[in-house]
Amino acid sequence: MYFYQCYRQAHIRKSVYLTILCFTILLPLTGCLSPITLNRAVIVYDEAVTRAESEQLLINIARAQHHQPIHFTRVPSIAATFDFRINAGGTPALTGDAGGLLMPLFGGSVAENPTFTIVPIEGEEFTKRLLTPFHQSKLTLLLRQHFDVDLLLRMMAQEVRLQHHNSNDALDNTHEEKEHGFRLRHGRHHKAAPHVIELTEEQKHRVRLRSQRHQKQVAYRNSPSDMSGYEMFRRVALHLSAIQDQRQLYVEPLTFERSWTIPAAAVSAEGFQALEKEFTVRYNPQDNTYTLSKQILGPILITNYDPDVVCCEERAQLYDLTSPWIANDVAFDIRPGYAGGDWPVQGSFRLRSFHAILNFLGHALDEEPEYPVEKDARTPPITRNENPGMTLDLKVSDTVPADSGLSVRSHGKYYTINTAEPYYHWNKNAFQLLYILFRMTITDAPSLGVPSITIAK
């Protein structure tokens, strides 16, 4: 009997020790489960939000195709609460002589309680995000991310404005004179044989800049319904793309130096110190004045040459090209003597809004289909001859495509990205660009007065 009691007490102590040991081991596991669950939740929620926004883009292209209102909702916040619980205990054995022994009991649970906030894009936010044309700085930012300038312009620009000479321009003589030089005529009645001065390509370009005031701009729309305008737009975009392929396309803001002259007597000692912080100050002893100069950052200019080589006179004339400075216009100046210089062209692209981009892509599926346009004969070769007919090629079918990675059903049809060769990468990049442009339109939504739908699961 004595030995039995000792045996029983030893088993009880062993059960208690085992329970304490297991509880001690399980307790730190909650710290391990927390980051694992957090990582899983972040990835799952990120994929869900990204897919939801991607499907919204396809649905709104379908809405634009059928001339229906475009509507977006966004998910500004996701609050997920996780509750980790682990319990341990002991209970007597239910049968046999071991009924006095303690048997360990363990349990645990993980509860997830996510809360999503869904906010419709409307009011002032709708105007800013969807109806306001893109700023030129966003095009520049994307170009520096090595997006194809042809793809960017075809999606973001609504038209190109090219500089053309007026027919009554004093410098607009015969075609031969414009191509090869200027004729200087001798004699009072110009009866003597003219003397021709041959100009270099660079000199011809400077003459064109000087005669800019005698030029007019002609707009060419990026719309397949305007055949002549659409084809010219495509050729100019392809020309810039060919220059970009040679890594000779510059996209930089113009800088200008402005100067002012003020009497020295009008500047006090305190005022002089303040001026030195903002301007470069030079004293002119001849007339006892100060000349103030300052570098001013101007609009973006796309060129086929380094803008730093431009002299002061030409820089001022380029300023006239970009004046008036419109935030959603991007000027370009392709001059002779550099990559792509066989077709000197000058003008500006006018950027459009995200709403207009969706309408352009939607109408291309039905009433205004895009079509192939060959590059200009003066344009250099394009890498891989990449020149698809569609800016974003979408497949519209009655059934889900077998190779579809992302598709939505709208208006009784399935919309998906065409991933067939030869333009697999182009279409993938085009949809990625569309998604990035949508994200770039984000503005801070007002904290009050915006109706929202909160879903708690």
Per DSSP, the residues of 377-435 read: TTSPPPGGG---S-SS-EEEESS--TT-SSEEEETTEEEEE---TTSHHHHHHHHHHHH
Q: What angle separates helix 227-245 from helix 149-156, to the nearest 10 degrees?
A: 150
Give every CB contact of residue 146 below 8 A, 6+ residues apart in sequence: none
Tens of pLDDT along the chain (457 residues)?
544 455 455 555 555 555 555 555 545 545 554 566 666 767 877 788 788 889 999 999 999 999 999 888 877 766 666 665 666 555 665 555 545 555 565 555 556 667 777 777 777 778 788 899 999 999 999 998 889 999 999 999 999 999 875 544 333 333 333 433 433 333 334 444 445 566 666 566 555 555 554 467 899 999 999 999 999 999 999 999 999 999 999 998 877 777 888 888 878 877 777 777 778 888 888 888 888 888 777 788 899 998 877 776 666 667 666 666 788 999 999 999 999 999 999 999 999 999 999 999 999 999 999 999 999 999 999 998 999 999 999 999 988 877 767 889 999 999 999 988 888 999 999 999 999 999 888 754 444 344 444 444 3
What predicted TM-score, i.e. pTM, was given to this entire model?
0.71
Return the DSSP state at 266. Answer: G
**How many other CB atoms are found less than 10 A from the CB of residue 34?**
13
Across 202-279, the runs of DSSP E, i.e. the strands, are 215-221, 250-263
Classify the phi-psi angles of 375: left when phi > 0, otherwise alpha if psi is within -120 to 50, otherwise beta: beta
At 282, give phi and psi (nearest 5°).
-130, 130
C-alpha distances (whole Å) from 295 to each of 9, 255, 276, 280, 323 are 92, 6, 13, 9, 17
177 vs 195: CA distance, rounded Å: 11
Run of H or E including 43: helix 2-65
Using CA atoms of 361, 364, 365, 371 in order, give the dihedral in degrees to the nearest 10.
Answer: -130
Q: What are the φ/ψ torsions at residue 41 (nearest 5 degrees)? A: -65, -40
Strand ranges for 185-316 from DSSP E: 195-198, 215-221, 250-263, 280-284, 289-303
**CB-CB neighbours of 140 under 10 Å:** 15
Class of residue 128 by CB neighbours under 10 A (exposed 0-12, middle 13-18, buried 19+): middle
Is the Cα dihedral 318, 239, 143, 230 positive or negative? positive
- 207 DSSP 8-state letter: H
Q: Rounded to an integer, what distance in angstroms lies between the CA atom of residue 283 and that of residue 295?
A: 18
* Structure confidence at residue 139 (pLDDT): 93
Predicted local confidence at residue 259, as pLDDT: 80
**The predicted structure's pLDDT at residue 189:** 41
* C-beta separation of 396 from 381 below 8 A: no
Contact present, 148 and 331 (Cβ < 8 Å) = no
Looking only at the bridges linking them, the beta strands covering 289-303 and 329-334 are parallel
- Note the pLDDT of residue 86: 61
Question: Which pLDDT score is estimated for 182?
Answer: 39
Q: Which of 400, 371, 345 is nearest to 230 (CA)?
A: 371
